[in-house]
Amino acid sequence: MATKKTTKAKPAAKTAAKKENTSFGSKVKRFLLKTMLWFLGLSLFFVVLFKFVPVPFTPLMAVRAFEHNSDGKDMVCSHDWVPLEDISMNLQKAVVASEDGNFLKHNGFDFGAMQKAFSSNQKGKKLKGGSTISQQTAKNVFLWQGRSYVRKGLEAYFTVLIELIWGKERIMEVYLNSIEMGDGVYGAEAASKYWFHKSAKNLTKYEAASIAAILPNPRKYKATNSSSYVERRKSKTLRVMRQVGKLEY
């Protein structure tokens, strides 16, 4: 006599819970995928846009304005965009000499400088950074200040993008028009007028070296009536500038 094989039906509640969990997991995956695609699309859009359009403001400008306001100061933001041809070649050479000697040679990252900075910091010397002009530009234009791994990862991502899409000449142009060069002073033109009462196009070698010398901490250091430390940085920058050849972007 044949026996009839029976199977136990899964409880309806357990099946519904499993479907609900699966559905929730799918929703999370779709959300993350959409977020990533939106981020990639928007980041690419703005990188392409700023290849042709002047950068109107940076996150740092907004942060400094709020800091001024919270300290009871006027919200000052002096920023005058000028094309690279209206910025003295002396200043272009000065920032290469002081900030990134291999600017025209690397692809956005100077691993030798990074290794030297890491070794110096490990020995307990004054903290140094190994960031290139390209990395500094990516951070200034698209990101916030800080040392988190997330920000460094995004900095690397944007550095690759601007190297590929902008090229060296545009990176230098954006860099010199967006970096902080004094308290509430951004870009070469505003800095030249603030420190030397002249256009960036007419900066001498010494004046250019003076501005480049304060870039590590432009709110603390002064390009004129400088401290002995800044004067030493000026002298060093002037010496290195003599070794910087023609900048062929």
pLDDT in tens, 203-213: 999 999 999 99
The answer to whether the CB of 230 falls within 8 A of the CB of 113 is: no
pLDDT, tens digit (0-9, with 9 covering 90-100), for 224-233: 999 999 999 9
* Average pLDDT, integer, range 96-116: 88
Give the contacts of 9 (CB within 8 A, at least 6 positions apart): none
75-104 burial, b at 16+ Cβ within 10 Å, e below that, comes to eebbbebbebeebbbbbbbbbbbbbbbebb
Residue with token string 């919200």? 75
Can you say how many angstroms the Cα of residue 104 is from the centroid of all Cα atoms in its chain? 17
What pLDDT shows up at residue 75?
73
Using alpha carbons, select from 135, 129, 137 the residue that is nearest to residue 108. 135
Indicate the angle between helix axes 228-241 and 89-99, nearest 10 degrees: 110
Cα angle 193, 198, 204 (rounded to 5 degrees) comes to 115
In degrees and rounded to multiples of 5, residue 151 shows phi and psi of -65, -40
Indicate the pLDDT class of residue 76, thresholds 50, 70 and 90.
Answer: confident
Above 90 in pLDDT, residue 66?
Answer: no
The answer to whether the CB of 185 falls within 8 A of the CB of 191 is: yes
What pLDDT shows up at residue 20?
57
Mean pLDDT of the chain: 88
Indicate the pLDDT class of residue 214, thresholds 50, 70 and 90.
Answer: very high
- Please state the pTM of the whole predicted model: 0.84
Query: Maximum distance among all alpha carbons in the chain?
Result: 109
Above 90 in pLDDT, residue 39?
Answer: yes
Above 80 in pLDDT, residue 95?
Answer: yes
Lowest model confidence (mean pLDDT) among 1-10, 69-78, 103-112: 1-10
Amino acid at residue number 187 = G
Question: How far apart are the C-alpha atoms of 24 and 20, rounded to whole Å?
Answer: 6
Lowest model confidence (mean pLDDT) among 93-102, 127-136, 188-197: 127-136
Above 80 in pLDDT, residue 117?
Answer: no
